[in-house]
Amino acid sequence: MKKISFIIFILLFSFAIASAQSVDEIKTKIDSNAEQIKKLNEEIKQYQSQIDETGKQANTLQNTIKILDINQKKINTEIKKTETNISKVNLTLNELSKEIATTENKIILGKKAIGASLRKVNETDDATLVEIMLGTGSLNDTLEAYKEASSFNENVRLHRLELSTYKTAVENKQSETEKQKKKLLGLKTDLKDQNIILANNKKEKNDLLIETKNKESLYKKVLAQKQAEEAKFEKELFDLESRLKIKINTNNLPAKRPGILSWPLDSIKITQYFGRTVDAQRLYVSGTHNGVDFRASRDTRVLATLDGTVTAIGNTDSQRGCYSYGQWVLIKHINGLSSLYAHLDLIKISAGQTVSTGDIIGYSGATGYATGPHLHLGLYATEGVRVERYTSSINCKNIDIPVAPANAYLDPLNYLPGI
């Protein structure tokens, strides 16, 4: 029996040493990836600082191109970070697989050890005390034999405890494996999205250079034309919404309090508030801003502020000269509110889809009429908002867009968490 236990111990020890070496190598690679991700994060922060600083400067062709170039570098770094994360997760899955295999082998060897102990105990139990005395010839030998049998029973109990521990360990590692697989799928989706956004960024720069022929004077003319066309549509929309007469039952709306909605971005910096702001009086015919603007560079994830159903999605840029929301998403919530997310570079959801709070609905950008990349968050009383094809518009007659009377517009900050 002692020989069998020793052999099993040697097998366990040898297997553990071999596996440990392999797992240690994987852990070293994981640590290396983690360090690389930290460096890439610092690089991304530096690019964002450069974008923010350039954005404060004069709106010139040179600065616009500079921001697009820096943003391209930033997105490329984001892609490297995602690829490194994918490598890290794959290594983690490999590590978990080896750890599961090691533990399962321990279970197999543990079962064999229990079997060997049980067989020895059974052999001892089948012999009577007299037979053992006759067989050994002394009382001391007999007592020693029973002592050994008792020791075997204790070994069986300890092996059972070990098997229970191993079983729990395997289950935990299998659960972690599933989590890592989901994370891997998410990262692969992120990588695909980032490559699309990078292509959009390159196209925007190329289109701008073609349109302006890389001349500042032409850039100023293009900018002035866009501002004039946006102002025309703003007036058209203002006139249309002024004619809308929809009674809103305020009893159907939640009481104003922080935290009913969640923030639509991971990092919050408000650049324009709701209502009669200085910028609103300068930029909009109505003199009011119908939502809240947040600083958000391209490739920033935009999150659903509350559970709901996607009422509609749209893209005002699909008709040239329609300078409005760009790519937008409208979500209806069960509490009488509807939220609008505008100027997106990429939409990740479709009409009719159900979303949960915090789900990624798209990525921020500068589509539509925008002086720079940002997220516009609008909030409506659902009773008052509808999506219409504005057929009487001059520049946007083939475009679907959310419209609402003034009393249906709500200040998102009345429902978002406190700053």
Q: How confident is the model at residue 147 (pLDDT cuts 50, 70, 90)?
A: low
Q: Residue 372: what pLDDT?
A: 82
Question: For the chain, which residues make up each domain, given as ranges?
Answer: 2-205, 235-414
Q: The tokens of 234 are what?
A: 């703003």
Third-level CATH fold of 2-205: Helix Hairpins (1.10.287)
The pLDDT tens digits of the residues spanning 358-388 come to 999 999 999 998 878 899 999 999 999 999 8
Point out the least confidently predicted range of 49-58, 109-118, 346-355, 375-384: 109-118
Tokens of 280: 């609103």
Rounded to the nearest angstrom, the gap between the alpha carbon of residue 89 and the centroid of all alpha carbons in its chain is: 15
Backbone dihedral angles phi then psi of residue 27, each to the nearest 5 degrees: -60, -40
User: Residue 141 contacts by C-beta under 8 Å, 6 or more apart in sequence?
Assistant: 132
Please write the tens of the pLDDT for every residue from 247-301: 999 999 999 999 999 999 999 999 888 876 544 444 444 557 789 999 998 889 9
N-to-C CA span, the chain: 70
25-65 pLDDT tens trace: 888 999 999 999 999 999 999 999 998 898 888 889 999 99
Residue 85, Cα to own-chain centre: how many angstroms?
13
Average pLDDT, the chain: 84
- CATH number of 235-414, picked from 1.10.10.60, 2.70.70.10, 1.10.3720.10, 2.40.170.20: 2.70.70.10
Q: What is the DSSP string of 310-370?
A: EEEEEEGGGSTT--S--EEEEEE-TTSEEEEEEEEEEE---TT-EE-TT-EEEEEB--SS-
* Location of structure tokens 């509110």: 337
Identity (one letter) of the amino acid at 345?
D
Q: Rounded mean pLDDT of 334-351?
A: 96
